[in-house]
Amino acid sequence: MQAAHTLVDTMRALVVRGLTTGTAGNASVRTGNGMLITPSGVEPEQLKPDSMVSMSLAGVTDDGPLKPSSEWQLHAAVYASRPDVDAIVHCHSRYATALACLHQAIPAFHYMIAVAGGDSIRCAPYATFGTEALATNALAALTDRKACLLGNHGQIACGSDLNDALNVATEVEVLAAQYIIALQTGTPILLERDEMDRVIAKFSHYGQPQARADD
């Protein structure tokens, strides 16, 4: 299955892009009757296409040797509630996690905030990893968004496919780093809502919400 190969590539790309280390982070893709998700506790370099776990959104897995990611409920909840999402990447990237530990949303200090679908990147309240409570908190923060921070945890990014979700996660990390630097320097000037609406409309028109493009 091509999706399994793409999941392996995605997890390795998270390492190459500096978005994850060790066994932290996971990814999934929607399938016809559920999802294909990365396994729990396996480092990206050890992953193989047959390491991926096929499961229903209710948590029923195929009879395979590996357990699904501990965050499977988070992925399943998003797929169940968001028909526009076909792939998910979750990671503990450095700068996004730093802001998440402050429960600090990222406001519209830069127009590329629109990559997440709105005029901010929200931060969901903390909940224990791998729980239904975490899934519930994340769903609320993801309302009308493609990404959010997870309090004291990391970030989650959604997309139309794994490449889209990976690029959104990468951009969230870049924006988090820029915002932290801006805060250290002074008080960032935020863009007005009407300007962000124009940017969001332009992103939609060009169909490249995952790209970091200027004019």
Residue 149 three-state SS: strand
Pairwise CA distance, residues 72 & 50, whole Å: 17
Would you call 71 a catalytic residue per the annotation? yes
Burial environment of residue 115 by CB neighbours within 10 A (0 to 12, 13 to 18, 19 or more):
buried
Quote the radius of gyration of the chain (alpha carbons, Å). Answer: 17
**Active-site residue, from 71, 173, 192, 195:** 71
Per-residue tokens: 104: 């600090």
Pairwise CA distance, residues 186 & 63, whole Å: 55
Query: Residue holding tokens 């892009």?
Result: 17
CA torsion through residues 60, 62, 65, 69, sign: negative
Q: Which residues are catalytic?
A: 71
